[in-house]
Structures are given as structure tokens and as C-alpha cells.
Structure 1
Amino acid sequence: MSSVLRSPDDSFLLGGELPVRRLGYGTAQLTGPGYWGPRGERQDSLTVLRAAVDRGVTLIDTADNYGPGVAEDLVAEALHPYRDDLVIATKGGVVRTSDSTWHIAGRPEELRASCEASLRRLRTDRIDLYQLHRLDPQVPMAEQLGALDALRQEGKIRYIGLDTLTADQLEQALSLTGIASVQNRFNLLDRSSDAVLKVCEAHGLAFLPWFPLANGALTGEGAAALAGVAERHGATRGQIALAWLLHHSPALCPTPGTGSPLHLAENLRAGEIRLSTDDMSLLEALASA
């Protein structure tokens, strides 16, 4: 008879003080192919955003280059004025010029301009979590983080986050300034950022995994190995994949995105699934295969 693991904590203290529900919502799917332009009817996107908050989501993850600007505009239109418990996270430092063309823009003046544009689109005086979308290899890390630190000291940013970096880069960043979160690709089939996750756990940082459902690979027929666990729980493969993230580490805060209210509800029900030690052993074996 298998034992049941301790239920995953439903919340995470961002920056060690600001509680967010660990299962959040990401806005990339509200834009078109290549994150370019809007996706579908605007009212449908507004409906999904409002439904996410109505269902208890307290962490909305967006970026200035989703659209570009489209996702942030939608967030503001749907949710402003923001509830006191709602945390809006956005990203800057990547400029998209078409559905297949983008470049990194990490010079201090570029980061400041990006942040201030996000403040305007989001209709707020302070961004709860501002994430550097990519480290610019042409600009010293100290200059990039110094620009964000200056914005934080001015009250325009509450917490700083980083996106797509190595464990060594994260340790270097932590030696320069306070970091609250990291976003790297991480899911049941891709644990290449496990070393980064360990640094996050050691320092109390949130890890917001992007592609938490492996960009659809964990929800289709190719994920047959998930079927047994999903069937036992009366769940979908995607729900089990999200539940695995919540059980795997208390630092993981997935923000799956969707443009469908039904799919949103399905994703959020993953937080109610309690995986047993046997379930986790089977899933960990899949992750290691």
C-alpha cells in the first residue's frame, strides 16, 4: 500500500514576504504565433484573465514582448484596478520585431525604457516582479542588474527576477543584488535546469518554470507513460504533469497559459491532486528516462 506524500504547500513567499498561490497563470498564449499580435477575440482573452483571478490565481506572469505589448495591455484592461493580493510579474530586455525576429536589449537605458513602458501599459506605479528576460552577453551583468536595482530603489520595481540562466550565473547575480525569482525551462521531460532549481531552494527563490507542459508534449498521445497515474486520479496527463511540478519542489511555481476558460479550469485543478510516493517514483523514472 503506497503512502501519500505531504500535500504541497499551496503558497510561496515571494521575496520571503509576499504570498502567491504557487499555481499561477501565464499570458503568452493570449498572443498569436511567434508571440506576435493578438490571439482570437479580445473579449475571450479578457474573460480568461478574469476567470483566472476569480478561481484564486494570485500570480499573473506576462512580458513586454508578448505581442509586443498586447499581453500587458490585456492584463491591465481585464484586471486593473488590481486586487491587493494579486501579483503582476512582467519581463523586459528582449525586443521582438516580428513573429520570428527578436534581439536582446540589456543596456541600462534600454532596460529603464522597457520598464517604464511596462508601467504605463500595466497602469501601475510599481511592478511587483520585474524579470530580466535574457542576460545580454554584450553588457556586464553588474550593469544590467544595477539598472534594475536603481529602478527598485526608485520604487518602480518591488522584486527582481531573472530568466534563462545557469546556476553559476545565478550565484553571480545573487552576489550583486537581491533576486526573488528565476524562470528557466523545466518540466517532467526536461530537468536540465535542476542545478538552478537547487540554488533557488537554497536561497528561497521562486522558480517559475516555462513550458511546464513541455509545449504540449505532455498532453498528447506521446505522453502515454503518464496514462496510468492520470487514470488512477481521474485526471488528465497535463494535470499530472503540473501536479508533479508542485510535488517535486516547494520552490516551483508553474504559470501555465491558455486562451480557453475550460483549459484554465483543468490546469488549476492540478493543485488539488495529491500524488503518492508510488506515483512520484513512476513519474521521476519517466523524467530520468
Structure 2
Amino acid sequence: MNNTITIGKDTANPLTVPRLGYGTMRLTGEGFYGEPPNRPEALAILKRAIEKGVRFIDTADYYGDDVTNRLIAEAIYPYPDDLVICTKVGATRKPDKSWVVYNTPENLRTSIENNLRTLKIDRITQVHFRVMPGMTNFEEGMEAMFKIQSEGKILHVGVSNVTRDELQTAMKMGNVVSVENMYGHGQRTTKQFAHGGTNMGGEEVLDICEQHNIVMVPFWSLHTADRQDTRLAKVAQKYGVTEAQVNIAWLLHKSPIMLPIPGTSSLAHFEENLAAADINLSKDDMTFLE
């Protein structure tokens, strides 16, 4: 199993990072909104991530609202030269904590400028264009993303929460280096939520990503897992680890293009997640888990 992965492998600016990143969404308050309940621990996790060699951090200006970007800057600015900060645009939050579409060309430009300001940088290494429920102007949004990239404010463009058709459309318009879709052992395909939201599954686009060297960044990999499935627990017992750790190890073994970003607000849990990269699942383990 490779320990590193290259983002933008077929571009003029490839970036190689360790295959386990960190997602910051859980550093926010209740409902992924507002300040963290334990701010010192949130800052400690970010600092520890850098100390332990994590070089891919996933964020968004609508996490918080704008909380995680400010935490990142406070904890680790000035940034290591090899750090990839990957943000998302296409949504915003209202004071009632609701999520709304924010993806007109003007909206996207505002979000990019906001990310640049709060992260204290001149160019964002990687930006995912997030598809929200009810969005009808995907192509217009992608066109705006590639235009902003041409201005030098974005190095690499990716997409998030996309269908096969949307991914293929984006690939025809410009160079797409990554896809951030929901993917975990217990939830590999699209999931509809009772509140009307939809998270597109990674399994449905994995073959396209593998064929075109597009990195898969799986989110919520354990959050929606099927608790009736006892296979993770059995493998976890075999190795003396947690189910969450087995899920991360499974993702790393599933495909060499996977770059998991397990998130947590607990420093102890963060250390556990990092240790999952050292779990070597056998072929029999993978067959059992499939």
C-alpha cells in the first residue's frame, strides 16, 4: 500500500502528500455552526496534525460560519511549504444553521476571496466546487471556477457531491484533480436524508477517478455506516483496534487514489485515526469486508 498520493498527477503542478488527511468540519459547534466547545483542543489538534506529518487539511468558509478557516490560520500560520489546504465553495449558512446554495459566479468569487482572506494566503492550493440539492447551474459554476483558477487564485480545482454526469461534464471543461463524495465501508452509494438533502456516493464515480488519476477524498466515511453490519467489528477485534480505524484502513486499501480525511474534535481520537494508516489488512480481510 502506498503511503503517499499525488494530487494533479497529470498537471504541471503535481502535489504529493501523505494519504491520510484531516477534515475540520467537526471543529465547529453544534450543528457544525459556531465556535468549538473546546477551542484549545481544536487548536491543539491542528498543531498536532502538522507535527505528525499531515499535509492535507480539508475546510470550507461555511464551516462555522467561517470558524475552521480562522482556527487553521491561528494554529498553524505561517504554513509549511508542502501543506495542501483544500477548501469548498458552493454553499453558505444562515443564522438558523440551514445550508443554502451559494454558487452563482459572483457567489463563488466572494467565497474564494473570503477563503483567501481568512486563511491569510494569496492562492488556494485546492478548491472543491460543492453541489447542493436543487442546484441547476452546474456548468455555469464550473466555468466560474476555472476562470478564477486562470486568474491565479486557485491552483487545483476539484468537485464535491457529484454524480457521474456532473463529473464527466466538469472534466470536459477543465482539469479536475479530485472528487469529494461520501464514501465509507457502510455507505458507498448515494444517500437521501429525511430533511431532503442528498450526499452522492463515491462508489458511483470511483471507476472514472481511477481511470483518470483523480483523487477520491471520502467524507463522512463512518457517520452513516450500517450498524447492523458486524464485519468491521470482527476485523477490529482481530487487530485490537476500533471500527473507525478499520474503516479508515479499508479505504486506504480499497484504492490507491483514496485520500481519507477523518474528522474529530478529540485529540485522542485524532491520534487513533492517524494510527489506522499502520493497519495492514490482508487480502482475506478485504474479501471478508467486501
Q: Same fold (TM over 0.5)?
A: yes
Q: Which residue of 1 aligns with 2:8?
A: 15
Structure 2 residue 261 is matched with structure 1 residue 264: no
Residues of 1 paired with 2:67 and 2:257: CA distance?
29
Residues 99 and 86 of structure 1, relative CA distance in 2, 3 Å threshold:
farther
Structure 2 residue 44 is matched with structure 1 residue 35: no
Residues of 2 paired with 1:149 and 1:209: CA distance?
23
3-state SS, counterpart of residue 189 of structure 1: coil
Relative to its length, the structure with more helix (as a share) is: 1
Aligned counterparts, 1:181-200, within 5 A: 181-192=178-189, 193=201, 194-200=203-209
Structure 2 residue 225 is matched with structure 1 residue 228: no
C-alpha displacement at 1:190, in angstroms? 1.2
Q: Which residue of 2 aligns with 1:4?
A: none
Contact 2:101 2:135 in 1 (8 A): no
Contact 1:59 1:89 in 2 (8 A): yes
Residue by residue over 1:219-245, the C-alpha shift from the partner in whole angstroms, topping out at 9 and shown as x without a partner, is xx7554322211221211111111000
Runs (5+) with no aligned partner, structure 1 = 1-7, 285-289
Structure 2 residue 104 is matched with structure 1 residue 111: no
What letter corresponds to residue 264 of structure 2 in structure 1? T
What letter corresponds to residue 12 of structure 1 in structure 2? I
C-alpha displacement at 1:167, in angstroms? 1.0
Q: Which has the higher contact order (CA 8 A, sep 6+)?
A: 1
Q: Which residue of 1 aligns with 2:43?
A: 46
Q: Which residue of 1 aligns with 2:213?
A: 204
Residue by residue over 1:23-67, the C-alpha shift from the partner in whole angstroms, topping out at 9 and shown as x without a partner, is 100000100122110121322111010111111111000011100
Q: Which residue of 1 aligns with 2:142?
A: 145
With the length of structure 2 as denominator, give the TM-score of the two structures.
0.90
Contact 2:57 2:86 in 1 (8 A): yes
* Number of residue pairs matched by the alignment: 274
Q: Which residue of 1 aligns with 2:125?
A: 128
Where has structure 1 moved over 6 Å in runs of 4 or more? none
Residues of 2 paired with 1:42 and 1:33: CA distance?
13
Residues of 1 paired with 2:165 and 2:134: CA distance?
15
3-state SS, counterpart of residue 86 of structure 2: strand
Q: Which residue of 2 aligns with 1:61?
A: 58
C-alpha displacement at 1:140, in angstroms? 3.2
Alignment RMSD: 1.6
Q: Which residue of 2 aligns with 1:251?
A: 257
Q: Which residue of 1 aligns with 2:161?
A: 164
Runs (5+) with no aligned partner, structure 2 = 190-200
3-state SS, counterpart of residue 113 of structure 2: helix
With the length of structure 1 as denominator, give the TM-score of the two structures.
0.90
